[in-house]
C-alpha cells in the first residue's frame, strides 16, 4: 500500500537547528509536532528543557545534537554533553562523528568516540532506552569511506547512522542512503537528513533504505506542499 504524506509524520524528526532559532520558533515546532504526530522534534541542546516540558504528555520524543555540527569536540565533551541533555529530557541523540580523526584513518579513536556517547546514555541515570544516531556527514566522504564509517558506527553500538548535519556542503542523497542501508543491514537504522523539502524526495529516501527522515520542512512534507528552504542544495 502506498504511503500517504500524513503517514510519513511518524518517521520524521521535525527539526529546527538554526543558530538563530528563538523560544517562539521552538514552541511552534513543538505545537506542529503534536498536531501532525511527528516521531520527534530535533532541537539544539539549549532548547531541550523547553521542548521536553512542552511535549511531556505526548508521544513526540525530544531529539538533540551532540558535537554538532562539526563533530570536532573532544570525546569527554561529547560524553558530558550526552549526559547533560539526557538529564534535561532528551530521548534521542544525534551525534557527529569525529570527521578529522576519520580522515586521519584513526578508526579506533572514531569508534571510541561513538562508544563513549553510547555508554554515556547508559550512565545518565534514566531507565528508558536512549537512541543514538551517528551523523557521518556523507558530503565529505567517498563510497568506501561511507561504508567504513557505517561499519564503525555499528560496531560501536549506534542505533542509527545518519547522512548529514544540514550544515555541510550537501545533504542526503539516495545513492548514499542506499549504500548506508546495504552496509548496516536491518539491525541498525538509517536516517536521511539535509535538504529534504518535499514528500517525493522524502519518499525517495525511504525507498533507498532510510527508516527515519530529518527535515526542517516536516509540515510541508506531510501536507504535500513544497518548501524551498534556505539552503543552496
Ligand atoms: O538534522 C537535520 C538537518 O539539520 C535538517 O536539515 P534541513 O534543515 O536541510 O532540513
What's the fold here for domain 5-222?
Answer: TIM Barrel (3.20.20)
The per-residue pLDDT for range 40-74, each reduced to its tens digit, is 999 999 999 999 999 999 999 999 999 999 999 99
Rounded Cα–Cα distance for residues 73 and 70 (Å): 8
Does residue 113 register a pLDDT over 80? yes
Is pTM beyond 0.80? Reply is: yes
- Ligand 1 atom closest to Cα of residue 215: 10
Mutational test site, ligand 1, from 67, 69, 216, max ligand atoms within 8 Å of CB = 216
Does residue 162 register a pLDDT over 70? yes
Higher pLDDT, 217 or 3: 217
Reading the block at residue 72, the C-alpha cell is: 570536532
pLDDT at residue 1, rounded to an integer: 62
83 burial type by CB count under 10 A (0-12 exposed, 13-18 middle, 19+ buried): middle
Q: Confirm if 49 and 88 have CB atoms less than 8 A apart.
A: yes
As for ligand 1, residues whose beta carbon falls within 6 Å of it are 15, 17, 42, 165-166, 171, 193-196, 214-217, 231
How is 68-116 classified by DSSP, letter by letter? TTT--S-HHHHHHHHHHHHHTT--EEEEEP-HHHHHTT-HHHHHHHHHH
Does residue 164 register a pLDDT over 70? yes
Rounded Cα–Cα distance for residues 139 and 171 (Å): 7
pLDDT at residue 227, rounded to an integer: 75
In this prediction, residues 9-29 reach a mean pLDDT of 98
3-class secondary-structure state, position 12: strand
Rounded Cα–Cα distance for residues 229 and 223 (Å): 15
Whole-number Å distance, alpha carbon 90 to ligand 1 midpoint, is 18
Residues 6+ apart with CB under 8 A from 122: none
Rounded Cα–Cα distance for residues 231 and 233 (Å): 5
pLDDT band per the 50, 70, 90 thresholds, residue 188: very high
Q: Please give the C-alpha separations between residue 176 and each of 1, 50, 69, 92, 133, in angstroms, as whole numbers.
A: 26, 34, 19, 23, 16
Rounded Cα–Cα distance for residues 16 and 7 (Å): 21
- Protein residue with least CA distance to atom 7, ligand 1: 194
Distance of CA 181 to the CA centre of its chain: 15
In this prediction, residues 193-209 reach a mean pLDDT of 96
* 89 φψ region: left (φ > 0), alpha (ψ -120 to 50), beta (else): left
In this prediction, residues 135-163 reach a mean pLDDT of 98
In this prediction, residues 166-189 reach a mean pLDDT of 97
Mutational test site, ligand 1, from 18, 43, 191, 214, max ligand atoms within 8 Å of CB = 214
Share of the chain above pLDDT 90, in %: 91
Residues 6+ apart with CB under 8 A from 74: none
Amino acid at each position: 500500500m502506498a504511503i500517504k504524506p500524513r503517514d510519513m509524520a511518524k518517521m520524521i524528526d521535525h527539526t529546527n537547528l538554526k543558530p538563530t532559532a528563538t523560544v517562539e520558533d521552538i514552541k511552534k515546532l513543538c505545537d506542529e509536532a503534536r498536531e501532525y504526530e511527528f516521531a520527534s522534534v530535533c532541537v539544539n541542546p539549549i532548547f531541550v528543557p523547553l521542548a521536553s516540558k512542552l511535549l511531556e504528555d505526548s508521544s513526540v520524543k525530544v531529539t538533540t545534537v551532540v558535537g554538532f555540527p562539526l563533530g570536532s569536540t573532544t570525546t569527554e565533551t561529547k560524553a558530558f554533553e550526552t549526559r547533560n541533555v539526557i538529564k534535561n529530557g532528551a530521548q534521542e541523540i544525534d551525534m557527529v562523528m569525529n570527521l578529522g580523526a576519520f580522515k586521519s584513518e584513526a578508526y579506533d579513536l572514531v569508534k571510541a568516540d561513538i562508544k563513549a556517547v553510547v555508554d554515556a546514555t547508559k550512565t545518565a541515570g534514566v531507565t528508558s532506552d536512549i537512541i543514538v544516531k551517528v551523523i557521518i556527514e556523507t558530503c565529505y566522504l567517498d563510497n568506501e569511506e561511507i561504508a567504513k564509517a557505517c561499519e564503525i558506527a555499528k560496531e560501536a553500538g549506534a542505533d542509527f547512522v545518519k547522512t548529514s548535519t544540514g550544515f555541510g556542503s550537501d545533504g542526503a542523497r539516495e545513492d548514499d542512503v542506499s549504500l548506508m542501508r546495504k552496509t548496516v543491514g536491518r539491525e541498525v537504522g538509517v536516517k536521511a537528513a539535509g535538504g529534504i523539502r518535499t514528500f517525493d524526495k522524502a519518499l525517495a529516501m525511504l525507498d533507498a533504505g532510510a527508516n527515519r527522515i530529518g527535515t526542517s520542512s516536516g509540515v510541508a512534507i506531510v501536507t504535500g506542499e513544497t518548501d524551498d528552504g534556505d539552503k543552496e542544495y
